[in-house]
């Protein structure tokens, strides 16, 4: 089959997860990729047919999303975005006629599939916000953020043939043509050998967060810290430059993790049995939702503002978190990739059904089993 695969370019999590799926698909299908942002260069080095498009960019102020700056940056870039994407749309239309479109939260690929009357499969973690009934209590001051996030996700990829949602928590579904699957894991994580060390792995996306270093120093715990883009030893803190090999090794051997509420690292920590203290970025509801479920499942804790007391309380509860994590089951990426293959086989045996078809009943897939 010919497949067009769209990847949202904001944040590298979507790109690293999509690379796993693209590697699997490329063995049996002809695949072209459309992607924006810094994810384009990363995927271009790994796959031959990667097309760069323009996408939205989120602006941050400290550890919070700056919605005003995001809006005005988008307005400023809109003419450039439209010109580039319209040109690429028609160029792609002339050179490639996909049988199926797969979108990892990418609007360009979704629109291409709709306008060419091709079935679109959504494959991402974001649709859990809209297509599930949630079993965690959303704080009152976050209800407006929940409503806006839900509306955004709902409008992003409407009318897909099927929604494959990757998640480490499994709330009830409220929409048809939807299934839940364990997180996509990169090969380095699947090949890692977990061990129980003494250090905490600390990851932050705000390179200038010196306050974090002060709190970690006061907690007086061995920490290997990523995200500050420098190499330095400060007492029991080891600041390390990012490398995939070093990061995965420190993750696999740590006692626990302190990080924002991003889905990729949280899913990897859960798979490796590592408790996590989540510090969701403010005004980033998806990260808060991840953190609330992490806490509900007993896999870790979350707090809006880090403190020495929060770190100490988290460390005191590590044995309980570790026991809870033993209940998580996942057989690598087999369950998700098998579900995707079945969808493609059904479409290939067609005739190919168009958008809006009722493909498959809503089902919450079992997590599978943990690797040996």
What phi and psi, each to the nearest 5 degrees, are found at residue 33?
Answer: -120, 135
Q: What is the pLDDT of residue 9?
A: 73
Domain 191-325 grouped into CATH 3.40.50.2000: yes
Q: Where are the domains of the chain?
A: 2-185+332-364, 191-325
3-state secondary structure labels for all residues of the chain: CEEEEEECCCCCHHHHHHHHHHHHHHCCCEEEEEECCCHHHHHHCCCCCEEECCCCCCCEECCEECHHHHHHHHHHHHHHHHHHHHHHHHHHHHHCCCCEEEEECCHHHHHHHHHCCCCEEEEECCCHHHHECCCCCCCHHHHHHHHHHHHHHHHHCCCCCEEEEECCCCCCECCCCEEEECCCCCHHHHHCCCCCCCCEEEECCCCCCHHHHHHHHHHCCCEEEECCCCCEEECCEEEECCCHHHHHHHHHHCCEEEECCCHHHHHHHHHCCCCEEECCCECCHHHHHHHHHHHHCCCEEECCCCCHHHHHHHHHCHHHHHHHHCCCCCCCCHHHHHHHHHHHHHHHHCCCCCCCCCCCCCEECCCCCCCC
Q: What is the pLDDT of residue 302?
A: 95
Q: What is the pLDDT of residue 64?
A: 54
Handedness of CA 137, 140, 145, 146 (dihedral sign): positive
Nearest-angstrom CA–CA distance, 204 and 91: 40
CB atoms within 10 A of CB 95: 9
Q: What is the pLDDT of residue 351?
A: 54
**Cβ 43 vs Cβ 140: under 8 Å:** no
Q: What is the pLDDT of residue 207?
A: 52
The low-confidence residues of the chain, meaning pLDDT below 50, are: 59-60, 353-372
Q: What is the pLDDT of residue 76?
A: 59
2-185+332-364 against 191-325: fold identical: yes
Superfamily designation of domain 2-185+332-364? Glycogen Phosphorylase B; (3.40.50.2000)
Nearest-angstrom CA–CA distance, 212 and 289: 23
Quick one: 360 exposed, middle or buried, by C-beta within 10 A (0-12, 13-18, 19+)? middle
């Amino acid at each position: 089959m010919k497949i067009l695969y769209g990847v949202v370019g904001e944040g590298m999590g979507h790109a690293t997860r999509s690379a796993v799926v693209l590697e699997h698909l490329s063995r049996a299908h002809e695949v072209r990729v459309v992607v924006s942002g810094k994810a384009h260069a990363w995927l271009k080095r790994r796959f031959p047919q990667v097309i760069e498009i323009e996408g939205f960019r989120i602006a941050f102020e400290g550890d919070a999303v700056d919605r005003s700056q995001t809006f005005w940056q988008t307005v400023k870039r809109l003419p450039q975005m439209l010109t580039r994407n319209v040109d690429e749309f028609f160029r792609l239309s002339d050179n490639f006629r996909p049988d199926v479109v797969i979108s990892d939260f990418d609007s360009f690929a979704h629109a291409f599939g709709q306008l060419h009357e091709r079935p679109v499969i959504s494959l991402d973690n974001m649709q859990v916000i809209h297509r599930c009934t949630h079993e965690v209590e959303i704080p009152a001051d976050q209800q407006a953020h929940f409503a806006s996030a839900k509306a955004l996700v709902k409008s992003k990829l409407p009318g897909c043939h099927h929604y494959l949602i990757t998640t480490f928590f499994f709330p009830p579904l409220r929409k048809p043509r939807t299934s839940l699957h364990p997180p996509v894991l990169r090969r380095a994580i699947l090949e890692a050998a977990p061990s129980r060390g003494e250090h905490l792995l600390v990851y932050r996306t705000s390179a200038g967060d010196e306050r974090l270093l002060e709190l970690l120093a006061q907690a007086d715990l061995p920490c290997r810290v990523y995200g500050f883009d420098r190499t330095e030893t400060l007492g029991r803190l080891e600041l390390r430059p990012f490398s995939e090999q070093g990061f995965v090794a420190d993750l696999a051997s740590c006692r626990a993790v302190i990080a924002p509420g991003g889905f990729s690292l949280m899913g990897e920590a859960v798979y490796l049995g590592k408790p996590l203290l989540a510090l969701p970025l403010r005004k980033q509801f998806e990260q808060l939702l991840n953190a609330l479920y992490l806490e509900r499942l007993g896999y870790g804790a979350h707090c809006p503002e880090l403190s020495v007391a929060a770190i100490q309380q988290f460390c005191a509860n590590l044995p309980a978190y570790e026991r809870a994590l033993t209940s998580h089951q996942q057989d690598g990426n087999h369950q998700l990739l098998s579900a995707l293959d079945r969808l493609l086989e059904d479409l290939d045996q067609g005739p190919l059904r168009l958008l809006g078809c009722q493909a498959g009943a809503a089902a919450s897939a079992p997590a599978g089993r943990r690797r040996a």
